[in-house]
Amino acid sequence: MDSELKNEMPASSAGPIASGTTTVAPEHVSTRNDVTSQQDRSLAWVQALPWLLFIIVLALAAWLGWRAFGANDLGDPLATSLVAFEKQNSLTVFSAQLAPVVASNDSRFFGTIQSRQVAVIPARVDYTLDLSQVGAERLAWDAEKHTLDVQLPAIKVGKPNLDEARAQYLREGIWITREAQDNLTRKNTQLAEQQAVKQAANPVLMNLARGAAKDAIRQNLAIPLSVAGYGDVTVNVRFDGEKASK
């Protein structure tokens, strides 16, 4: 009988002992971990999406900017120079203030009444360059020396601008009629204009005008070329008939 009890006890002790603890199956725990991992990945994707779109837009803007303003494509320096000329067309490079002194005579009543007028009439003369005549054939670019050679047409001397409001007159005569005075003034105006043209063509004034023109052209071309990315460019300017600088 004792042996029977011993054989039954192990069988009884091998069974589970009832308690208040619930046992969870391993497959249920794995399923919950997978769901949590998927939720975390979805949340991370939602948070990263705006930054990803921002980076794409930024890269696209940088690429478009490089295509439009890339430093490797500087364009044609001659075209840049011609655009600078086209914006001005005509350039006043120098102005001279002159004061022609002229005199004229008037005779009335068969020479019995003589009158004379001496006039000092201030005048201004402008010296201009016609930049519309400057084409690509007048420009030469040396990429190795970083030098631009420019050949300019002759300077044009403008029509004198007489300032008759500031004119000074000296009249001589026993009797100067109104008609005689108008005639004297008209003659002196014509003479002053002719004399101003001759004075403006003086070699000293012409050299001053050419020098001012060269300085203006150098500045007007060097600045656009520098802005276009060509750096420090040497601009050599000469007029028709002058020898090219070496």
Q: Does pLDDT of 195 surpass 60? A: yes
Tokens at residue 144, please?
């190795």
For the CA atoms of 90, 95, 152, 236, the dihedral, rounded to the nearest 10 degrees, stands at -120
Contact between 133 and 142 (Cβ < 8 Å): no
Which amino acid, 29? V
Minimal CA–CA distance to 104: which of 123, 85, 117? 117
Yes or no: say if 100 and 196 are a contact pair by the CB < 8 Å rule: yes
What integer is the mean pLDDT of 114-129?
A: 95
Say if CB 127 and CB 155 are below 8 A apart. yes
* Structure tokens given for 31: 């399923």
Quote the tokens at residue 136: 């690509």
- Span 35-59, pLDDT tens digits: 555 655 665 555 656 655 656 765 6
Whether 133 has a pLDDT exceeding 60, the answer reads: yes
Residue type, 229: G
Q: Name the burial class of residue 246, with classes exposed (0-12), middle (13-18) and buried (19+) by CB atoms within 10 angstroms of its CB.
A: exposed
CB of 236 closer than 8 Å to CB of 217: no
Token digits for 34? Answer: 């997978």
CA 143-149-155 angle, 5° bins: 160
The pLDDT of residue 2: 45
Q: Does this model's pTM top 0.85?
A: no
